[in-house]
Amino acid sequence: MGRLSITGFRAVVAAFVSLLALAVAQAQPRFDFDRTPGRLPKDALPLRYTLTLDLDPQREHFDGTVAIELRARRALPALLLHAHELETTGAVTLKSERGAERTLRIEPDAAASLWRLVPADGAPIAAGRHCVHITYRGRVRNSGEGLYRIGSGADRMLATQLQAVFARTLFPSFDEPAFRAVFRIAVRAPQGLQVASNMPVERVRRDGAQALHTFAPTPPMPSYLVAVTVGHFETLTGRAASVPLRFLTAPGKAAQARYALGATQLLLPYYNRYFGQPYALPKLDQIAVPGVRDGAMEDWGLISYNESLLLVDPKHSGPDTPRWVFALLAHEIAHQWFGNLVTASSWDEIWLNEAFATWMENKASEHFNPQWQTPLHTRRWIDQTMARDASGATRAIRSGPVDERQVSDQFDDITYTKGGAVLSMLEQWLGDETFRRGLAAYMRDRRHSNASAGDLWHFMGRASGRDVAALAASWTDQPGVPLVQLDEACEGGQRVVTLSQQRFSADAGAAPSAQRWQIPVRLQQGQASATVLLAGDTARQTFAGCDGPPVLANAGGRGYYRVMYASTALQQLTAQFHTLAPADRSTLLSDSFALAQAGALPFGAYLALLDRLPAAQGAGRGALFAQAGDALVLLDEALAGLPVQQRLRERARALLAPELQRLGWQVQAGEASEDTSLRARLIELLARFDDAAVIGEARARFDADAAGRAALPAALRPGVLGAVGMHATRAEFDRLRAQLLAAGGEEERWLLAGALAGGRTRALVDEVLALSLAGTLPPNIASALPGLVGEAGVFGAEAYAFSREHWAALAKLAGTGPFGGNVWLLPSAAKSFNDPAQAAQLVADQHALAGAPGTAAASRIAARIALRAAMRPRAAAALESGS
């Protein structure tokens, strides 16, 4: 066989890539219930649950009765249901449309969380409609999953978090997303307590010292969206788009929900218009949970949040709290369409829920609050995700079959951040209106049902007339992030741009990859622009004339790829950095740092860009300095323990201190929110980098506040408390700890916990670690303390050793939920490590303690440790040489 020419070889590769894209696209079929993966067979379909729960916040257990109306699609020897840590308290019976009531025998499979219900008479269950009746008992949990308790004494309340696989801890069920059914829920609770669920209450009937609250039936929905809460609440009410709104808070905090009420009144009608589908339920409640749970959950009609993510306290909330609250509201309310009205077919497709909610959260935040510069700040999260995606510890957005025991691995930055970024890139490629029409058609067709990626691309393709499936599959069905290399040449008086692609790796020694993407590359040269679809190895684009500025790739910054310029072009872009559009400055800074970390660009080139930051004026300046701060912290972690670390800190102070001086310490009336946010961040960063003047000023303001001489403004609290906590004396530490133990809100607790954890005195940090097991803090805060110490970096080894030694006790506090939990205890404590041996130790320890469910979390942090270790000598050399 003769040797292939280069041209012939490229043709073969291009053909292979095309065939691969076709195969991947064909692997994204439209939703088919029978072919949807899951543990449960598809031969029995739940139609309706009638669920009665006996709930008392003062009890350690709860009682329940469930009647499940179902249809057997064929004669069955038994029924299979999910149930976990439930025990029956009476006979389990089955009644058919025609026929006598029969007893069912339970054959439990505790390891798989399954009950096999077998007819005691040995006869099969006939095809047709039946009703299974079960009375049972379960336990109330202390961590934020299943049915869990919050608080103590008379103020104790109950709430639920059933995503992903915790509905089975509340009631026996078909606990997989494809099994939608109507839920008729009733809750019996002590008189005087308020009860809420997904739907409006229809009636309340007294029953001695109890009251039975019966709720209207839900639309068909998956089991994980069921929600109940019981307790003493203060309420704030309103309306939006004719929908009654209600916010439930701990007593005395309803006024802090006013910001969230106003945001919801903007978001609900906005989404109604955008999706072309009105909000589907007759009410929307949102509850602020004062502890225990982390994150938020989009339960249909009753969204729950950790209170720090829903409430805004004018006296204590930091300058970023309103934007965090707005973004999370936008995310969870978007789920009322993405996830609830249309549900992902299985956990394999959960990105359809979460990526779209993330994309919509950013879109809505930018629409209503353009002054926040949301796209520029989103760059920081995308950078972190790209760093993971450039390592071996990544996965595809659609990563294939998902083991139920590791569903939590899907609720990560690949699903949320990469998924949202890829959707933003597709929206830019198709056009905003075309993208919206495709989504609206998708919603109309799949409402009250399930969907797969194939459904989405079908409607996007119809709306655009393009092969969206093939392009999208190259992003959703393979891991990694591409690197686009741009070369320019002058040919015949025209500027010819040649683009090439390869997989970007953070490992400089990684073998080349044959992966290819269909990349819509947006090019900009002066006022001229073009979008080139780079589907194979290379593509070309011509611009008129050879003069003028270099060509920018990923203009506007919405592409999920890295860009590498020729050295001459990069030098020109660096010199003209201050003239670039804000998004292009951010993207260039981001790509340059990533390339320097990977050894593909000298660190000196990145440091030269940092030097240009002060010249960048106008919109986006705050986001640029925040982005630079993230990079400097990463470099500081990589260089920890080396003499050159002090040179880095000098350089950081030289860059950041003049910016704080420009802003001043006093919040000015009417100042831009970006300046208010940046000021607090700069104070904390400069304290980390040992700026004596900033540390002294922070201490003085902290002391004046404590003495009652001058109250510390809310906008300065995150920066000042963080700075004081890092350099705390015994007296300052004691004051911070007393404030933490007395704090009346979650936002305040997290702020003070972070401040204490950042300390640089070993004896005081040992006291912080001990506090995690003292029983004086809510379990979510307590279990997070060692990780906060580890993330601060100074005593990471001590935090890690503590977490390993006390893993069982901390795991009991953390639980196993999808938003943190026990699998993150060791990885969080190891976050600032920079030694490959520490990465290997983490992986081994995690396997021993957390088993297979902890593999992904440990691998992610181990990859970050390896990246720091690899960049450590290169960054040190650049700083030592004065680059």
Q: Which residues are catalytically annotated?
A: 332
Residue 277 CB contacts under 8 Å (≥ 6 apart), including other chains: 337, 341, 440, 443, 444, 447
Place of tokens 């003069």: 547
Distance, CA of 214 to CA of 754 (rounded, Å): 43
How many CA atoms, within 13 angstroms, populate the side-chain half-sphere of residue 632?
28
Three-state DSSP state, 640: coil
Measure the CA dihedral 350/267/297/183, to 10°: -90
Contact 878, 603 (CB under 8 A): yes
Map tokens 């304290």 to a residue.
Answer: 687
Alpha carbon distance, N-terminus to C-terminus of the chain: 52
| 869 neighbors 832 (Cβ within 8 angstroms) | no
Inter-residue contact 785 to 741 (CB < 8 Å): no
Indicate the SS3 state at residue 522: strand
The Cβ-side half-sphere exposure at 339, using a 13 Å CA radius, reads: 27
Separation of alpha carbons 315 and 306, rounded Å: 19
Cα 500 to Cα 532: distance, rounded to the nearest angstrom: 11
Residue with tokens 């057997």: 72
Beta strands in 481-620 (DSSP E): 481-491, 494-504, 519-525, 528-534, 538-544, 552-553, 562-565
| C-alpha dihedral, 255 to 260 to 266 to 268, nearest 10° | -120
- Residue 111: C-alpha distances to residues 114, 348, 719, 806 (Å): 8, 21, 47, 25
Q: Retrieve residue 336's tokens.
A: 């009322």
Do 220 and 87 touch, CB atoms closer than 8 A? Answer: no
Strands of 243-392, DSSP E: 243-249, 284-289, 296-297, 302-306, 342-344
